[in-house]
Chain A
Amino acid sequence: MQQIFNFIIRNSNRLLFLLLLGISLTLTIQSHSYHRSRVISSANFLSGGVYERINRVNEYLNLRAENDELVLENARLKSLLFNKEDTTKAPLPDSIKGVKPADIIVSKVIHNTYNTHENYITLNSGNNEGVKQDMGVINSLGIIGVVDNTSANYSTVVSILNMKSRINAKIKKSNHFGSLTWDGKSTGFVQLEDVPRLASIRKGDTIVTGGQSSIFPEGINIGTVENIYKKNNTSFYVIRVKLFNDMTNLGHVYIIKSKDREEIINLENQSKEKNE
């Protein structure tokens, strides 16, 4: 017993080091696995509050860009309004049920990273506004990411510039779908993988979100086709997609509250359980 105590006292610094190293390595490894929420995230009172303060200052510096964006969106909406008689299309299938498939929560980016392989965005709305995990985040130009963690007033978002992010996407004109990933290199480009070679794709085609994911509604803009590669020995294309969004400059965003999501997930879980 005496010797054990002596050992502990003699090596107290080393043991302390190993203990703290163990804790921090556990946190690191745990944060690299996708499906577990991280313990230490910026969606909390302290860092959320600090980021909000910093953002208040930054907002003034970006007023011009933000204004330009609003003017553009206004112009687009006005043109929709004035050309209303042109849109004699059949009503969208979603509105047959009489409920809109999605609600929108307006939020603001208070912190944004894009210089690492796994980038996260912090928003200034959380549980109090109804934000929950796995909701989609978009802005006027295209998609931004998926909500990861939430606290009472803040939430973190897995940016599409995150190597762990996988989002269902398709080619607008042909309905061939694939999954959207990021290779960690350029902030302006993402990759659309697993697109079958049967698909006819040209440079400049538009990529939109696919209907398979219950996170995003179908048909939200992502970007345009920049390059098309053939993956070795597979029958799939890899497409380099130029984003509509400038992910390094984000202001106000919309969080999509999909009303059908819970129903879809419940249904899928039920059939999974039955098959097991």
Chain B
Amino acid sequence: MSSAVLVNIFRFIMLLAIQIVIFNNMNFLGYISPFPYILYIILYPVNSNKAGLIISSFLLGLTMDMFCNSGGIHATACVILAYYRPYIFKFSFGLSYEYQTIKLNESLTPERFSFILVSVLMHHIVLFVLEAFQFKFVWDILLRTLFSSIFTIITSIIIIYLIKPNKR
């Protein structure tokens, strides 16, 4: 058990706990809740085991579904985000991302912001499309995706700054 695995397990549990206890109950303006638990997928180490990420993301989403009574929508959205994460990395940081040691929890550059933005949008679109499941709610889906994404990004960035390891 290396320390990286322990850190990830800790993050998994803490983010889920925060999400369920606090953010699921926010219901801002009646229908907007942020989902910062996907920070687990965003902050997962770049060059670590990909199968591990996909499986743990599935479990993360499944736990959320259990608490939200939502069938499998969180699991689907999380698995899709976990699988396409390397492509988003490529999109945001350029082709050579694998050779850099990207630490997302350092200062917020445009590349890091775009990575968070694309990840959050991808997750939320899948989530809300599957939740509504009908095409007559297109505007509703877009509105929910937009507002929830904004709130998720804001809370995510705040959380990233809060858990920033202060190594000097």
Question: Residues of A with Cβ closer than 8 Å to B?
Answer: 12-14, 16-17, 20-21, 23-32, 38, 40-42, 44, 46-47, 50-51, 54, 113-118, 120, 122, 156, 184, 187, 248
Contacts and interface: CB of A to CB of B under 8 A. Distances in A.
A113 B71 contact: no
Contacts of A122: 69
Interface string B122-161: 0000000011110001001000000000000000000000
Given A24-B76, A115-B31, 20 more contacts: A13-B54, A20-B58, A23-B75, A24-B58, A24-B72, A24-B79, A25-B72, A28-B71, A28-B73, A28-B130, A31-B72, A38-B71, A40-B62, A41-B69, A44-B66, A115-B27, A115-B32, A117-B137, A156-B69, A248-B27
List 7 tightest A-B contacts by C-beta distance, closest first.
A31-B71, A27-B72, A24-B75, A120-B69, A24-B72, A28-B72, A24-B76
Interface string B46-85: 0000110011001001100111111111011001101100
B74 to A, nearest CB: 8
Given A27-B71, A40-B71, A117-B132, A46 B58 contact: no
A118 B131 CA distance: 8
A93 B85 CA distance: 65
Contact of B55 (A20, A25, A40, A47): A20
A214 to B, nearest CB: 25
A21 B80 contact: yes
A238 to B, nearest CB: 16
Most A CB atoms within 10 A — which of B20, B33, B66, B137? B66
B9 to A, nearest CB: 17
Nearest to B73: A28
B21 interface: yes
Given A13-B54, A38-B71, A117 B131 contact: yes
A13 B57 CA distance: 13
A231 to B, nearest CB: 16
B79 A115 contact: no
Contacts of A26: 72
A17 B61 CA distance: 14
Contacts of A40: 62, 65-66, 71-72
Given A31-B70, A32-B133, A40-B71, A187 B79 contact: no
11 contacts: A17-B82, A20-B58, A24-B61, A26-B72, A28-B71, A42-B69, A47-B67, A50-B67, A117-B132, A117-B137, A118-B131
